[in-house]
């Protein structure tokens, strides 16, 4: 794993997978437009049932974005000529005539709302298994206090996966926030389950400086024992189980861990286009849950850290876009997890239905 | 006509046609640059005769835009090295030598000024027939009071033709301004003269709500009889004869119409590039001609309506540009006029000289 | 030479040549990023020796720009994951492991600092001869007082070479600053040494108006004898020896010239990308050397003149970019020097190593 060279391949999406489209709180009676895996989708919530609806964001008539229209009860009215759709995407009214053409319908997408997240399925609807949506139960668990947000990064989504799976960058890009020298110095242990599509990367620091992110939120003074256990469920869900304790304090023999602080860092990595990714991020903690100062501090500091990543990845993508064809990367031990993730993503993309890339929605 | 599917074809221009380049008032002793059918043109008016001149906006020397230069009497001096052209496009002076190369000339374009508009001919000059310029006499007729303007829309010019030929969008895009439910509900009658290249679309509403545009300008209270008679002369000129009267009031048996209000809505649709169109618009009325409040109101409200179209067409073009190859449209009765216009435009483009698209001006 | 037509060819760079990368004063302990001949390069100065270092601005790991990192002594630390390079481009440290892969190195570029300029060599390092760097000794000579700056122009670098080799444009583009009618009217004498890659263009005006640039700086009232002697050393260095004297005042028989004012106008023309050029400019004078008003005036007025060129060349490039394939230029006597320069540049580009254009830096 030391000194291997390679190159990131052309972007291909794993279509037969669940992706986070939005936080549940983002979807309501205002139309929300998101482009996911290059497909423009409009989201809204029904009036009574309050169910999330996902329809293709292009009117069948002249392909005007439906998200520029308005809701009439549970139907969606195009803002250009008034073609009107029900929640299944069936057109129920057109202007100037009573008869609605039979073929007048837009695609509707399977949706699952779970753990405060709204997941959408872009590929073959027959393959959409709601039970296969990966869990992030802490996000909706009152035992955890969660802050979060979403940023749009102008890069290939795999650059964000790379970023998250190799935390040694915390030392350099996020020094003074969440990074300390020990992160880059401490070797990692990587476990890959190619079949399940999961990658685990662990870095246990026995004796590390405490970065401001944890010093101020936990109140620990002095050095710490810091564990980072990454659990990536390709393609979308990334969990970082973070354990912070005064130096030398370990879990009890029975597995309980009353003297440590636990933070769950959750990311959902949802490709928007070939060069844009939605970066959903949450920080959940099991301590100081009612301390609003800690809540505000963790939100603001993590937002700062996320924006450092956004700026770096925007810059990296712009740089790659001007690189000559066939440029090389050089990978080392720290990249083991990221390279495994890339392999899994490549396989998942190949396993999906034939990449239609730019086939008409109507033909699917 | 119900439920036919199709797709807008690749942009092609009808070159052997007259196009509105500018209002006469826009052309004077300041150089005016406009790009028409992808050709950069500079316009000015001669000192004494006051005739409009249209020359290729590229110096023969290094292709610097002549519009960045200055007038010297009736000659045009390039702002880079001083190559100087007369009104026929012949170069009459170059720097550093007495002899002017015989081939030093830029193209001049046939121009006709009529009805307050300056029309230009881009195609084969031999085919330019000044008598074939379509008329919009009301624009320069003192019996009509006219307001107008010009907006640039970042879209294929045919999206604007589509927009204008199907007024059912008034109900949705311009509701509260010029649209009411009856516009979308009332069926249309379409007449196409493929040979003459004209399309007529009529919508006569016997009993309709009166939109603010007409309520405030005419003073009518209550419901109205509203006629919309479109007359499109492909490719450039669009006339909407609009008749508004109190509900039930019809023209007299002798054809006179003293108890109605008449508004002529004029558009000139001039393709600039494949993705830009000049949208000239005028509103002419035969009532309240001296009422400056009505003049200002009609100007401002129609400008608002035009900008609603501009925003919608910009958005539509951006959406189409990200659509996969082979996307489909679904057309219904309201589209009869627009589809006929597309057919005529396709024929006119094919009939023109072979599309040089990107052949050098000098070689023409 | 009168009335020849042709066309500028596709951009190709002469790689085996020295180019000005920066003024010496621009390179210090802050990282400076410049893209030269499409290659991103980061510059800095060592701590003790103060030598200028030029390294490829892409980390071998994930190609993050090294210019976004930081210096640690004389080593450069990548801002993403901390890969660290010495001044030769050899990677000396990577995160998470002791062993540094043998292939971990970035390219370093030969550099020469001379006459206040830092020159860099992009092509085959074996061919880099420091003694071949052309001289502009006046820039660092206390007998001359120099002001200068650098602007980025969004155009093919050859448009700037064209501009500088044909000063007849001073009359039109810079009228009222440095141009007068006599510049465009006076014929030129051109000498080309194809082998040495030099072009000389002379224009001696015996009786000319004095433009503000010289009138205010020299104090001359009335008409002048004005000599412009251009000496272009392709591809990068351009010297304009400018002599201004009261009308009729000539050098002494012994060659001395005590009664004239001398100004050396220096340009360095460094291609950044196919559509961007660094335009380094200096004005050096042998009179009023301690007059700060004259210093400020010449700086500000020449900056204004340079910006007139920048605006014109930006506009010209945008115009050329929309011109059809195969557009023609028409050249006359004034273009003799510029056309010779183009020929030399084409030959130098062809003589260089095979244009790798977009081959990976690692493979070189």
Note whether residue A129 is domain-resident: no
Distance CA A16, CA A37 (A): 11
- Give me the phi and psi of A327, to 5 degrees please: -65, 155
Candidate from A319, A324, A333 with C-beta closest to C360: A324
Same domain assignment for residues C141 and C285: yes
* pLDDT for position C132: 96
Q: What is the pLDDT of residues B321-335, one digit of tens each?
A: 999 888 899 999 999
Domain containing C42 — which CATH number? 2.102.10.10
Per the DSSP assignment, residues forming a β-bridge with B241 are B229, B264
The whole-number average pLDDT for the span C10-22 is 93
B153 — contact with chain C (CB < 8 Å)? Answer: no
* pLDDT for position A353: 52
Q: Does the pLDDT value for residue A312 go beyond 50?
A: yes
Number of CB pairs < 8 Å for A and C? 105
Test A329 with C61 for CB contact under 8 angstroms: yes
Note whether residue B267 is domain-resident: yes
The residue of chain A with its CA nearest to that of C81 is A169
Confidence of residue A360 (pLDDT cuts 50, 70, 90): very low
Name the residue with higher pLDDT: C200 or C7: C200
Note whether residue C229 is domain-resident: yes
- State the DSSP code for A318: H
A171 — contact with chain C (CB < 8 Å)? Answer: yes
Test C96 with A168 for CB contact under 8 angstroms: yes
Q: How far does the CA of residue C277 sit from the closest CA of chain B (Å)? A: 18
Confidence of residue B7 (pLDDT cuts 50, 70, 90): confident
Q: Does the pLDDT value for residue B358 go beyond 50?
A: no
| Spatial CA neighbour of A63 closest among C192, B330, C119, B197 | B330
The whole-number average pLDDT for the span B300-327 is 95
In the structure encoding, which two tokens stand for residue C236, read together?
A: 């990068």
In the structure encoding, which two tokens stand for residue A96, read together?
A: 């100037």
Note whether residue B312 is domain-resident: yes
Test C332 with B101 for CB contact under 8 angstroms: yes
A165 — contact with chain C (CB < 8 Å)? Answer: no
The residue of chain B with its CA nearest to that of A94 is B332
Same domain assignment for residues A98 and A153: no
C181, C324, C335: best mutation site toward chain B, by most B Cβ within 10 Å? C324
Residue A52 burial (CB count, 10 A) = 23
* pLDDT for position C353: 52
Same domain assignment for residues B311 and B165: yes
Chain C residues close to A324, C-beta within 8 Å? 356-361
Q: Rounded mean pLDDT of chain A?
A: 94
Candidate from B325, B331, B332 with C-beta closest to A358: B325
The residue of chain A with its CA nearest to that of B322 is A38
Q: Tell me the percentage of chain A whose pLDDT exceeds 70.
A: 96
- Give me the phi and psi of C161, to 5 degrees please: -60, -45
Q: How far does the CA of residue B324 sit from the closest CA of chain A (Å)? A: 4
Chain C residues close to A185, C-beta within 8 Å? 95-96
Residue B300 burial (CB count, 10 A) = 11
Domain holding C109, by residue range, is: 18-122
The whole-number average pLDDT for the span A63-88 is 98
Q: What is the pLDDT of residues B133-191, one digit of tens each?
A: 999 999 999 999 999 999 999 999 999 999 999 999 999 999 989 999 999 999 999 99
Positive or negative CA dihedral for A352, A353, A354, A357?
negative
Test A330 with C96 for CB contact under 8 angstroms: no
Test A60 with B329 for CB contact under 8 angstroms: yes
A102 — contact with chain B (CB < 8 Å)? Answer: yes
Confidence of residue B2 (pLDDT cuts 50, 70, 90): low
Residue A329's contacts (CB-CB under 8 Å, 6 or more residues apart) are A5, A6, A7, A8, C60, C61, C62, C63
Same domain assignment for residues A27 and A96: yes
Test A356 with B315 for CB contact under 8 angstroms: no
Among B122, B157, B175, the domain-final residue is: B122
Candidate from A312, A320, A332 with C-beta closest to C101: A332
- Give me the phi and psi of A290, to 5 degrees please: -100, 5
Confidence of residue A85 (pLDDT cuts 50, 70, 90): very high
Chain C residues close to B359, C-beta within 8 Å? 324, 326
User: Which other chains touch chain B, taking contact as 3+ CB pairs less than 8 Å apart?
Assistant: A, C
Number of CB pairs < 8 Å for B and C? 105
The whole-number average pLDDT for the span C286-302 is 96
Q: Tell me the percentage of chain B whose pLDDT exceeds 70.
A: 96
Residue C53's contacts (CB-CB under 8 Å, 6 or more residues apart) are C43, C44, C45, C46, C74, C87, C108, C111
Q: Rounded mean pLDDT of chain C?
A: 94
* pLDDT for position B353: 53
Chain C residues close to B357, C-beta within 8 Å? 324
Number of independent structural domains in chain B: 2
Angle at CA of residue B219, ends B215 and B221, nearest 5°: 70
Name the residue with higher pLDDT: A100 or B325: A100
Distances (CA, A) of A60 to A101, A152, A163, A206: 11, 28, 39, 60
Same domain assignment for residues B89 and B150: no
Same domain assignment for residues B140 and B206: yes
Q: Does the pLDDT value for residue C80 go beyond 80?
A: yes
Same domain assignment for residues C197 and C298: yes
Same domain assignment for residues B115 and B152: no
* pLDDT for position A1: 52
Confidence of residue B363 (pLDDT cuts 50, 70, 90): very low
Reduce the DSSP state of residue C165 to 3 states and report it: helix
* pLDDT for position A354: 52
Name the residue with higher pLDDT: B31 or A324: B31
Q: How far does the CA of residue C362 sit from the closest CA of chain A (Å)? A: 7
Chain C residues close to B40, C-beta within 8 Å? 319, 322
Q: Rounded mean pLDDT of chain B?
A: 94
Distance CA C104, CA C212 (A): 57
* pLDDT for position B359: 39
C334 — contact with chain B (CB < 8 Å)? Answer: yes
Range list of β-strands (E), B258-300: 261-273, 276-285
A77 — contact with chain B (CB < 8 Å)? Answer: yes
The residue of chain A with its CA nearest to that of B175 is A79
- CB contact residues (below 8 A), chain C span 48-67, against chain A: 58, 60-65
Q: Does the pLDDT value for residue B234 go beyond 90?
A: yes
* pLDDT for position B351: 85
Domain containing C261 — which CATH number? 3.90.380.10
Note whether residue C11 is domain-resident: no
Note whether residue C142 is domain-resident: yes
Residue C302's contacts (CB-CB under 8 Å, 6 or more residues apart) are C147, C213, C265, C281, C283
- The number of helices, as runs of H, and strands, as runs of E, in chain B is 6, 19
Range with the lowest mean pLDDT among B101-110, B324-333, C311-320? B324-333
Test A63 with B319 for CB contact under 8 angstroms: yes
Chain A residues close to C82, C-beta within 8 Å? 168, 171-172, 184
Test B312 with A101 for CB contact under 8 angstroms: no
Residue C300's contacts (CB-CB under 8 Å, 6 or more residues apart) are none
Note whether residue B144 is domain-resident: yes
Among C98, C122, C146, the domain-final residue is: C122
Confidence of residue A324 (pLDDT cuts 50, 70, 90): confident
Q: Does the pLDDT value for residue C359 go beyond 70?
A: no
B63, B71, B273: best mutation site toward chain C, by most C Cβ within 10 Å? B63
B37, B62, B93, B362: best mutation site toward chain C, by most C Cβ within 10 Å? B62
B176 — contact with chain A (CB < 8 Å)? Answer: no
Q: Tell me the percentage of chain C whose pLDDT exceeds 70.
A: 96
Confidence of residue C79 (pLDDT cuts 50, 70, 90): very high
Q: What is the pLDDT of residues A254-295, one digit of tens each?
A: 999 999 999 999 999 999 999 999 999 999 999 999 999 999
C37 — contact with chain A (CB < 8 Å)? Answer: no
C217 — contact with chain B (CB < 8 Å)? Answer: no
Place of tokens 């990976």: C360
Confidence of residue C326 (pLDDT cuts 50, 70, 90): confident
Distance CA B10, CA B13 (A): 10
Test A184 with C95 for CB contact under 8 angstroms: yes
Same domain assignment for residues A77 and A176: no
Long-range contacts of C291-295, Cβ-Cβ distance < 8 Å, separation of 24 or more? C294/C216, C294/C217, C295/C145, C295/C147
Same domain assignment for residues C73 and C200: no
Q: What is the pLDDT of residues C219-250, one digit of tens each?
A: 999 999 999 999 999 999 999 999 999 999 99
Note whether residue A356 is domain-resident: no
Confidence of residue C4 (pLDDT cuts 50, 70, 90): confident
Test A316 with C80 for CB contact under 8 angstroms: yes
Distance CA B64, CA C172 (A): 12
Residue A155 burial (CB count, 10 A) = 26
B156 — contact with chain A (CB < 8 Å)? Answer: no
Test C334 with B81 for CB contact under 8 angstroms: yes
Chain A residues close to C68, C-beta within 8 Å? 312, 315
* pLDDT for position A20: 98
Q: Does the pLDDT value for residue A140 go beyond 70?
A: yes
Name the residue with higher pLDDT: B353 or C193: C193
Same domain assignment for residues B115 and B254: no
Q: What is the pLDDT of residues B195-233, one digit of tens each?
A: 999 999 999 999 999 999 999 999 999 999 999 999 999
Chain A residues close to C37, C-beta within 8 Å? none
B184 — contact with chain A (CB < 8 Å)? Answer: yes
Distances (CA, A) of A48 to A29, A42, A70, B288, C271: 11, 19, 17, 51, 64
Among C89, C122, C155, the domain-final residue is: C122
ipTM of the complex: 0.92
C330, C331, C336, C342: best mutation site toward chain B, by most B Cβ within 10 Å? C330
Same domain assignment for residues B162 and B216: yes
| Spatial CA neighbour of A297 closest among A186, A177, A128, A198 | A177
Distance CA C84, CA C60 (A): 10
A158, A161, A332: best mutation site toward chain C, by most C Cβ within 10 Å? A332
């Amino acid at each position: 794993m030391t000194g291997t060279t390679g190159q990131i391949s052309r972007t291909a999406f794993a279509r037969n997978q669940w992706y986070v489209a939005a936080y549940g709180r983002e979807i309501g009676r205002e139309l929300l437009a998101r482009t996911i895996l290059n497909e423009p989708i409009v989201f809204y919530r029904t009036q009574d049932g309050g169910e999330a609806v996902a329809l293709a964001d292009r009117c069948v008539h002249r392909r005007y974005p439906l998200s520029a229209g308005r809701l009439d009860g549970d139907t969606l009215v195009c803002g250009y000529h008034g073609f009107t759709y029900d929640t299944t995407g069936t057109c129920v009214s057109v202007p100037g005539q009573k008869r609605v053409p039979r073929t007048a319908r837009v695609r509707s997408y399977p949706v699952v709302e779970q753990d405060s997240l709204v997941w959408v399925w872009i590929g073959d609807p027959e393959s959409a298994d709601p039970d296969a949506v990966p869990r992030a139960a802490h996000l909706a668990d009152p035992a955890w206090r969660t802050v979060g947000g979403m940023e749009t990064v102008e890069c290939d989504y795999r650059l964000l996966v790379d970023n998250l799976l190799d935390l040694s960058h915390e030392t350099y890009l996020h020094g003074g926030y969440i990074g300390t020298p020990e992160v880059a110095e401490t070797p990692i242990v990587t476990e890959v389950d190619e079949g399940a599509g999961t990658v685990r990367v662990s870095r246990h620091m026995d004796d590390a400086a405490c970065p401001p992110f944890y010093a101020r939120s936990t109140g620990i003074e002095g050095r710490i024992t810091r564990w980072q256990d990454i659990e990536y469920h390709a393609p979308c869900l990334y969990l970082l189980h973070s354990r912070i304790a005064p130096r030398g304090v370990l879990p009890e023999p029975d597995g309980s861990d009353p003297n440590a602080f636990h933070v769950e860092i959750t990311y959902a990595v949802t490709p928007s286009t070939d060069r844009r990714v939605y970066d959903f991020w949450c920080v959940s903690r099991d301590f100081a849950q009612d301390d609003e100062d800690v809540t505000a501090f963790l939100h603001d500091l993590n937002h700062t850290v996320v924006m450092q990543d956004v700026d770096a990845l925007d810059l990296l993508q712009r740089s790659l876009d001007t690189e000559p064809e066939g440029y090389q990367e050089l990978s080392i031990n720290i990249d083991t997890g990221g390279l495994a993730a890339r392999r899994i993503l490549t396989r998942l993309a190949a396993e999906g239905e034939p990449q239609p890339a730019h086939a008409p929605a109507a033909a699917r």
